[in-house]
Amino acid sequence: MHSDFDSVLISRERIEARISELAARLDADYGDKNPLFICILKGSVFFFTDLLKALTIPAEIDFMAVSSYGDGDTTSGYVKIIKDLGRPIAGRHVVIVEDLIDTGTTLSHLCELLKTRDPASLRLCTLMDKPERRLVDVTVDYCGFQIPDEFVVGYGLDYAERYRNLPEVYILSRKVYEK
């Protein structure tokens, strides 16, 4: 293992198995609803594409980019929409797909914004959840893994735009981000 990492937190095999389970639940819940899945860029793209490939139901997709981190590694509390949806969601069953829910600040703001657009339903699906870091209450409808309060990278998650391409989720060594 590379010296930038303390350990593998979630293996590729565990990710694949959990995605299959989440897809089965989504298939059952949305089989007759033609849902719209929204990928929150950039970190969610790996999870999003693998999840959508595992679905058996028809589904439409769109993308949003939001940020509350700026250039740092801690939330600023201010949420900025960088890329908005390309279509209206009124009357649609919407599933937001996120890589990691940490403080809940960004997702809470995003959910409130999307609710004003009058979707038929709005649910949240995340690969990872850090409930002990939550500052704002967010309901997670579909969760891959609850993880400890560690700095994680890989499978879409980054530190300073590095490590996204790794196929597993790693705990980043403190020596990397506490320089």
pLDDT at 69 over 60: no
- The mean pLDDT of 39-47, rounded to a whole number, is 96
Given a contact cutoff of 8 angstroms between Cβ atoms, the answer to whether 127 and 155 are in contact is yes
Give me the pLDDT at residue 75, please.
52
* Bond from prior residue into 80 cis (ω within 30 degrees of 0): no
Picking from 176, 159, 27, the residue whose alpha carbon sits closest to that of residue 100 is 159
Q: What is the pLDDT of residues 80-133, one digit of tens each?
A: 899 999 999 999 999 999 999 999 998 999 999 999 999 999 999 999 999 999
Quick one: pLDDT band at residue 178, thresholds 50, 70, 90?
confident
Distance CA 63, CA 65 (A): 7
Give me the pLDDT at residue 177, please.
83
Q: Count CB atoms within 10 A of the CB of residue 15.
A: 22
Given a contact cutoff of 8 angstroms between Cβ atoms, the answer to whether 94 and 35 are in contact is yes
Reading the block at residue 55, the tokens are 């679905």
Domains of the chain: 12-147 (3.40.50.2020)
Give me the pLDDT at residue 2, please.
78
pTM above the 0.85 mark?
A: yes
Reading the block at residue 44, the tokens are 């969610």
| Weakest-pLDDT range from 20-34, 57-71, 156-170 | 57-71
Quick one: pLDDT band at residue 63, thresholds 50, 70, 90?
very high
Quick one: pLDDT band at residue 8, thresholds 50, 70, 90?
very high
DSSP, residue by residue, 58-72: --EEEEEEEES-TTS
Q: Count CB atoms within 10 A of the CB of residue 100.
A: 23
pLDDT at 29 over 90: yes
Distance CA 15, CA 13 (A): 5
Distance CA 11, CA 8 (A): 7
Given a contact cutoff of 8 angstroms between Cβ atoms, the answer to whether 10 and 67 are in contact is no
Catalytic residues: 102
Quick one: pLDDT band at residue 1, thresholds 50, 70, 90?
low
- The mean pLDDT of 22-41, rounded to a whole number, is 97
Q: Which residue has the tokens 């530190």?
A: 159
